[in-house]
Chain A
Amino acid sequence: MLGYICKRLLLTLPTLLLVAVAVFLIIRLIPGDPAVVLLGEGADAASIAGVRADLGLDRPLPVQFFSWFGHALRGDLGRSIVSGEPVGASILQHFGITAAVVLVAVTFATLIAAAAGLIAAWRRNTAIDLAVVGAATVVLAVPSFWLGLVLLLLFGLKLGWLPFVGYVPFSESAGQAVLFLVLPVVTLTITESGVLTRMMRASSIDVLQLDYVTHARAKGLSERAVLVRHVFPNAFAPTLTLVGLTLGHLLGGIAVIETVFTLPGLGRLMVDSVLARDYPVVQGCLLFTAVVYVVVNLLVDLCYPIFDPRVTAR
C-alpha cells in the first residue's frame, strides 16, 4: 500500500511543478503593481522602486521563482505583501473555515444523495422517482449564490434566526461560530446533492438489473436487506469518485458562497489576494489547493476498494 501511495505522489510532482510555474507567471501578468497598492494614491516613483526592492520583486523572475518554490517545498510560503503575516499560517486558518463548511456539506449531500438515489432507482417511474429526479434537476439549475442570497435574506435578515455578519471564530465562541456556518452549509449541501443524487440513481438502476441482485432475492432476503447489503455498496462506488472530485475542488475554496456570507474562507482569501496583487498569498493558496486536490483524490482512491474490491491498490 505504502509503495502505491509513494508512486501516486511521485506521479503528481510534475503536475504540482507545472501548477506552481503557471501560478507564478499568471499573477505577474496581471496589470497593477503590488507596491503601488501598498503605497496608495500618493506614491511617487522613488518609494515605489524602494518597496519593490524590499519585496524582492526587482530580482529576475527565475531567481524569484526558485527561491519561492525552494522555500515552499520546505513548508515556508513566505510572507504576505499586504499584511506581513506568514502565508502558511493564514492559509491554514482560512482553510479551516472552508474545510468545516465543505466537509459537513459534502457529507450531508452524500448521505442525502445515497438515500434518495437508491430509493428513486428502487421505485423507478413512480411518484417518488419523479419527485427525486425533478428536485435534483431544479437544484442543479439554481445558481448557488442566488440560493445563498435568498436564504440569507429569509433566515438572516427577515426572520433573524441566524447571524450572517462578522464571522466569529470557534475560539471566540463555538456556539456563535456554528450558527454562522449553518446557512453556508445548507446552501452548499443543497447545491451539491443535486448532481450526486442523479449519479447515485443512475448507478443504482444499472446495479438493480444485475443477476446477483435477483440471486439475493432468490435466497429469500427481504427487499431492504437486498438494497442495503447488495445494491448500495456496488452503486455507491462510482458516486464516491464523484464525491472525491467535488471535494477536491470545493476545498479549493467556495469563493462565491464565502462572498455571499462574508466568511473569511480560502476562496475569499484567494479572491482578495488576487485583487490586491498579494503575490505570495496567491501563489501559496493555489499551490495549497493543488496539493489538497491531489491528496483528496488519493484518499478517495484508497477507500474505493472498500466498496469495489475488484479495484485493488496495484
Chain B
Amino acid sequence: MIASVAAPLLRFDGVRIETSGRAGSEARTLLEGLSFDVAAGEFVAVVGESGSGKTLAARSILNLLPAGVRQTAGRIELQGRDLSQLSAPEMRQVRGAQIGMVFQEPMVSLNPAMTLERQLAEGMQLHRNLPSDEIRRQSIAMLERVRISNPLRCLKSYPHEFSGGMRQRIMLASVLLLKPKLLIADEPTTALDTLSQREVLELMVELAHDNGAAVLLITHDLGLVARYTERAIVLEKGRLMESGFTDEILANPQNPYTQRLVASLPRGRADLVPPPDSAPTLLQVRQACIEYPGRPGIWRAGVPTQVVHGVSLDVRAGEIVAVVGASGSGKSTLGRAVLGLKPLAAGTISFDGIELAAMTAAQRKQFRRDAQLVFQDPYSSLDPRRRVRDIVGATLRHVDDLDAAERRARVQSILEEVGLSSFGDRFPHQMSGGQRQRVAIARAVVSRPRLVVADEPVSALDVTIQQQVLTLLQTLQAQYGFACLFITHDLAVVRQIATRVVVMSGGIVVEEGPVASVFAAPAHKYTRELLEATPSLEVAVLPRC
C-alpha cells in the first residue's frame, strides 16, 4: 500500500489547538505544529499517553472540539480541501458520509433512549435518500457482517440490552454503513476485555479493507499499534515526537520519549526467583464457593447467583501468585473473600493454618494487620475528605503496641519509600492517578502485613506510570518479603511480576502452574486464546537494540 502520488486522503499541516481564554484563565496551547499525512486505505496510529492531545487531534478533524477549545492555526485537508474553513452545512456533509468516527465508552456511545434501528438508519436517511425498506435491508446485512446474532430482534431493542463488545460492533456497523473514506477510531477497545477487544479490532480491519477506507487509530496501547497499524505517530504533551513505519519505531525508537514508552512495556524477567520450597504455606483456599444475594421480591427471598464455585489455591510466604481471567471470572470476588470481606457459601479459607470463619476476636484483629488489600481505581479507593497522612495511617490505629509518635514516624518512612515524602497533608484530588496508587500501596504495606492482595493495581494507569508502580511494588515485596496475590487481566504484567499463575474463567480455575511453563505450553484452550489475544506480548519479544 504505497502512498498514492495524488493529494493524500488526510493531511495535517502545522495544526495548533488552544483553550480560548475564558473566565480569566489565559489561553493554553494543547497541541502544537502537528503535521502528518494519511493515504487512502492506509492504517495509521496516533499514540500517546493521557494528556498528550491525541484525542483532540482526532476530534479537530470533524471540528467536534469541546466547548472552549479552538483550532487556532494550521490546515486539515481532506483530499486537498481544508476542513477547518468549511461552513457548518458543508462540514455536516463531510461528517458521517466521508469521515466516520467510533468512540471509547461502549456504555454511552449509543443513545440509550432510541431503538438501534433508528440510530442505524439516522445517518443513511441524512446522507442517502434511500427508501426505508432499502435502509432496513442494508442495516440487517451490515449487522450480520459484524456477527450480531438475530439482527431483526437487535433492530427493535435498545443499546442497554447488549454487552460492551457487541455495542462497539453495532457502532462500527452504523458508521461503516455510510462507507466513509476515513474511519477515526478513538480508543475503540480500551474499555473492553482482551478477548472482545481482539474481535472488535479484527472486524474493524476487515470492514475497512472491504470498503478501502483508511483508519486513524487513536490509542495508548503499543500492542495494538504493533499488530494493526502500518504507520504510527507518537505524541507527548501536545508535541509530535516521532512518526514513521510502526515496526521501525517499535524496533529502534529514535526519540527518547518513544524509547521510554517502548521500554515501559511489561517484559518477562528472568531474575524472578520462586520462594524456597521450605517456605510455609501462608494461605490455603479449599473448594471456596461465593454467592451474591439476588434482589428480594416482596415475599420470596432473592435467587442468589453463584460467582465462584470450588476454587482451591495455596500461597506460600513471600511468593507472588497471579490470578488471571476476563472481567466477570470471579477473580476480584475471590480476592476479597481471601481477606474475609466476602462471606463464603461453601469451602474454607485459612491463614497461618487458622480458618477465617473460626477466628477469635484477637486472631481476627491480628489477621487485619497481617492481610491488606490494594484496590484498582485510585479515585474510588481513597477517602476524598481525608489527608494522605490519615489514609496511610488508618491500619496503624488498630495496632496497640505503637504510640502516636511511632505511628507518625512509621507513616513518614513508608511515604518516603513510595517517593511521596512531602505529600503528607495533601488531599487525594490534589494528586495524579499514579501518585494516588502509591498512597494505596503505602497504606497496604505500612502495617508490615504478611499477605497483600493487589486487585488490578495498575490497569487504570498509563503505560509509563504502570511500569513505575509495578517496580515499586516489586521492590517493597522484596524488602518486606510479604506474599502477594496479584489479580489482573493483563498477561504481560503477570510475566513481569509473578512466579506462579492461576487462570480463572466463569468462576472456576481452568489452569494453574509456574508462569514460564504455563506461558510456554498452555494446556487449557481458554489460556491459549488469552495468550494470543494479548498483543503487547509480541512487541516485548522483539529484539532490543
Contacts and interface: CB of A to CB of B under 8 A. Distances in A.
Asked if the two chains touch in their complex, CB atoms less than 8 Å apart, one says yes
Interface of A: 7, 10-11, 124-125, 210-212, 214-222, 229-230, 233-234, 237, 307-310
Interface string B284-306: 00000000000000100000000
A143 B515 CA distance: 72
B96 A125 contact: no
Contacts of B112: 212, 234, 308-310
Contacts of B22: 125
B111 interface: yes
Interface string B13-33: 000000000110000000000
B126 A230 contact: no
27 contacts: A124-B67, A125-B22, A212-B108, A214-B64, A214-B101, A215-B109, A215-B111, A215-B171, A216-B111, A217-B62, A218-B62, A218-B64, A219-B95, A219-B122, A219-B126, A220-B93, A220-B94, A220-B95, A220-B96, A222-B92, A229-B114, A230-B114, A233-B114, A234-B111, A234-B112, A308-B113, A310-B158
Contacts of B113: 233-234, 237, 307-309
Interface string B93-131: 111110011011100111111100000001100110000
B160 interface: yes
Interface of B: 22-23, 59, 62, 64, 67, 92-97, 100-101, 103-105, 108-114, 122-123, 126-127, 158, 160, 171, 174, 298
A295 to B, nearest CB: 20
Contacts of B160: 309-310
Nearest to B171: A215
B108 A211 contact: yes
Contacts of B100: 218
Given A220-B97, A221-B122, A212 B111 contact: yes
Contacts of A237: 113
Contacts of B67: 124-125
Q: Which has the most chain B C-beta neighbours within 10 Å: A214, A215, A222, A234?
A: A215
A219 B123 contact: yes
Contacts of B123: 219-220
Contacts of A215: 101, 103, 109-111, 171
Contacts of B23: 125
A310 to B, nearest CB: 5
A218 B95 contact: yes
Contacts of A124: 67
Given A211-B104, A220-B97, 13 more contacts: A10-B298, A214-B64, A214-B103, A215-B101, A215-B109, A218-B62, A219-B95, A220-B93, A220-B127, A233-B114, A234-B112, A234-B113, A308-B112
Contacts of B111: 212, 215-216, 230, 234
B122 A210 contact: no
B139 to A, nearest CB: 14
Given A211-B103, A211-B105, A217 B64 contact: yes
Contacts of A230: 111, 114
Contact of B126 (A11, A125, A220, A308): A220
Top-10 shortest CB links A-B? A220-B95, A220-B96, A218-B101, A219-B96, A233-B113, A211-B103, A219-B123, A309-B158, A210-B108, A220-B92
A110 B113 CA distance: 20
Contacts of B110: 212, 215
Contacts of A234: 111-113
Contact of B96 (A211, A214, A218, A229): A218
Contacts of B97: 220
A217 B123 CA distance: 10
A117 B23 CA distance: 22
Contacts of B59: 214
A221 B126 contact: yes
A145 B31 CA distance: 56
Contacts of B126: 219-221
B298 A7 contact: yes
A234 to B, nearest CB: 5
B366 to A, nearest CB: 45
A221 B93 CA distance: 9
A212 B62 contact: no
Contacts of B94: 220
A221 B114 CA distance: 15
A125 B174 CA distance: 34
A124 B66 CA distance: 12
A234 B97 CA distance: 26
Nearest to B98: A220
A216 B100 CA distance: 11
Nearest to A213: B111
Contacts of A210: 108
A39 B233 CA distance: 95
A175 B59 CA distance: 58
Nearest to B115: A309
A229 B111 CA distance: 10
A10 to B, nearest CB: 8
A310 B113 CA distance: 8
A217 B100 CA distance: 11
B298 A11 contact: yes
